[in-house]
Amino acid sequence: MVDSALDGAPSAPERNDVVPVLFATNRNKTGIQMPYYFYGNELSANATNADPLQRGIAAIKIPANHTKGDVKRAGFMRVTLSMWTESELASRLGIAKLRSENPDTDFSYQAGIKELNASVFDQALRSAVAKSKSKTAVLYVHGYANDFTDAAFRTAQIAFDLATPDYDVVPLMFSWPSDPGRVKMNYIEAQKYRIVVSGEALKNFLLEIKNNTDIGTVHIIAHSMGAEVLGQAMKSMGISGLTKNANQSPVQPLFKQIIFAAPDISVETFNDVIKPAITTNHTITTYGAKTDIALWLSSLLNKKDRVGRILSTKVFQDCIDTVDITAVTSEGDFLSHSTWAESPRVLNDLRFLLRDGLKASSRKLKLNEDSWALLRTDARSNTKMAPQPAVKVPLGLGCHRQTASQ
C-alpha cells in the first residue's frame, strides 16, 4: 500500500517490489482519479504562484519479469478501456473490470496517487532517506513529451536497477508539462515558456530539498529537455542557492553529482546556465551518443547543435566529464536517446559514479580528444569497484574552478 511505501525506499529490492516515488509537479490536475490520468499536460492553475507545486507519492509496482533497463507499460487503449470498466455504466451492464496491465511484464501503479502537503512531504522524504542503506536520494527530471506516468515509471526503474544488496536510493521526481501540443502561439516559443516557468518551479523544489537538512546525499539526473529546465533552475538559484553554506570556504556544493543524460540544450544556453554549478564546485557529467536521432532532429528544428549529440561544451569542457555512449546504443532504443537508462552497461557506469563517486579517469573508460568513451565489452556488473589507477589526463582537461567570490 502507499502508506507502507512511505516507510522508506526499498533495500535490496525483490521482483514485484513496490518502489515509492516521491514527486513534485507543476502539471494540472485532471479530476480523474485513475493514476494514469491523474495529472495532465498543462501547467497547473497555480503555476506562476509563489508555491506552484503539487507534491505526493506514486507507488510503482515493478513487474515480475523485469529486465534491467526496460520499462514496459500498458497501452493507451487498454488503460482507457480499463478505466471505462470501472464506471457505473459498465457495472450496470454487468461488465467485469479489466486489468489495464500485465503484472508479469508491465510497470504499474500499486495504488492511486497520494498527494501530500509540503510539511508532510518533507517528513516523508527525511524518513525515506533515513531508512535507506545509502542515505541517498536521486532526483530525476524528465525530458520532452513524457507524461507523468512515463516519468514515474522511469524514476522507479532507475532506482530499482541501481540497487544492490548494500546500496539503494530514494527516488525523487520533478515532472513538468513537457509538450505544449497544439497551441495558438509559436510552438518553440510555447515550449520555451514552459521551460522557464518549470525551471522556476524546480528551483522552489530544490530549495525545499536544501532546507530539508537531514536528507543526506542528493544526486540529480536530467534527461533531454529536462536539462534546460534544470539549467534554468540552477541559474535562478545562483551561487548562494547552490551551496550548503555560503560562508564556508572552500565552497561546498549542495548536490553530490549532477548528470545530464542526452541533454537537449544548445551549447550557448548550457554554457550560460551551468556557470553557478561550476562555480560552486559541483561534479558534473554528461552522457550522450553521436547517433542520437532525437537530438539530431532537435538540432535541425532549433538550428543549433545540442550538447548531448556533439559531446563537447567547448567553453566548459574542462569542468565536465563527458561520456560517449555511442558504442552501446544498440542495447537501448533505436533512437539512441534513452540508452543512458536502458543499457545495462551505462547503468553499471552510472552506479559506479553515484555509489562510489569514481571519476571518469577511474572507471575504465577510454579517453578521447575531448570526452570519455564507454566501451562495449565489460564484465563488471554490481560488484563494488575499487578505485583504479587514474588515467593521466592531458593538460587542459582539469577544471579551473572559480571561488564563490570571483
pLDDT confidence band for 348 (50 / 70 / 90): very high
Q: Is pTM, for the whole model, over 0.75?
A: yes
Q: Which pLDDT belongs to residue 369?
A: 79
Question: Mean pLDDT lowest for which of 22-26, 45-49, 189-193?
Answer: 45-49
Q: Which pLDDT belongs to residue 397?
A: 35
The yes-or-no verdict on residue 363 having pLDDT over 60 is: yes
The yes-or-no verdict on residue 35 having pLDDT over 90 is: yes
Whole-number Å distance between alpha carbons of 83 and 100: 8
Q: Which pLDDT belongs to residue 134?
A: 92
Give per-residue pLDDT as tens, 272-295.
999 999 989 999 999 999 999 999
Domain borders along the chain are: 2-72+108-373, 73-106
The yes-or-no verdict on residue 144 having pLDDT over 80 is: yes
Q: Which pLDDT belongs to residue 4?
A: 45
Q: Are 231 and 269 in contact (CB under 8 A)?
A: yes
The yes-or-no verdict on residue 148 having pLDDT over 60 is: yes
Which residues neighbour 301 within 8 Å (Cβ) at sequence distance 6 or greater?
A: 188
pLDDT confidence band for 88 (50 / 70 / 90): low
The yes-or-no verdict on residue 399 having pLDDT over 60 is: no
| Superfamily of structural domain 2-72+108-373 | Alpha/Beta hydrolase fold, catalytic domain (3.40.50.1820)
How many helices (H) and strands (E) the chain has is answered by: 13, 14
Question: Mean pLDDT lowest for which of 22-31, 80-89, 167-176?
Answer: 80-89
Where are the strands (E) in 81-143, listed by range?
Answer: 108-109, 114-116, 136-141
Q: Are 12 and 21 in contact (CB under 8 A)?
A: no
The percent of the chain in helix, strand and coil, each rounded to the nearest 5, is: 35, 20, 45
The yes-or-no verdict on residue 226 having pLDDT over 60 is: yes
Give per-residue pLDDT as tens, 61-75.
999 899 999 998 766
Q: Which pLDDT belongs to residue 55?
A: 97
Whole-number Å distance between alpha carbons of 376 and 355: 21
Give per-residue pLDDT as tens, 98-133.
566 777 888 999 999 999 999 999 999 999 999 999
Give per-residue pLDDT as tens, 298-343.
999 888 989 998 766 666 667 899 999 999 886 556 789 999 999 9
Q: Which residue has cell 556533439?
A: 310
pLDDT confidence band for 400 (50 / 70 / 90): very low
The yes-or-no verdict on residue 371 having pLDDT over 80 is: yes
Which residues neighbour 274 within 8 Å (Cβ) at sequence distance 6 or greater?
A: 231, 234, 284, 313, 316, 320
The yes-or-no verdict on residue 267 having pLDDT over 60 is: yes
The pLDDT of 187-196, averaged and rounded, is 84
DSSP letters along 186-201, please? -HHHHHHHHHHHHHHH
Whole-number Å distance between alpha carbons of 235 and 324: 26
Whole-number Å distance between alpha carbons of 41 and 190: 13
Average predicted confidence (pLDDT) for the chain: 82
CB burial of 261-297 (b: ≥16 within 10 Å; e: otherwise) equals bbbbbbbebbbebbbbbbbbbbbbbbbbbbbbebbbe
The yes-or-no verdict on residue 395 having pLDDT over 50 is: no
The yes-or-no verdict on residue 2 having pLDDT over 70 is: no
Q: Which residue has the higher pLDDT, 180 or 163?
A: 163
The yes-or-no verdict on residue 350 having pLDDT over 80 is: yes
The yes-or-no verdict on residue 253 having pLDDT over 50 is: yes
Which residues neighbour 359 within 8 Å (Cβ) at sequence distance 6 or greater?
A: 321, 390
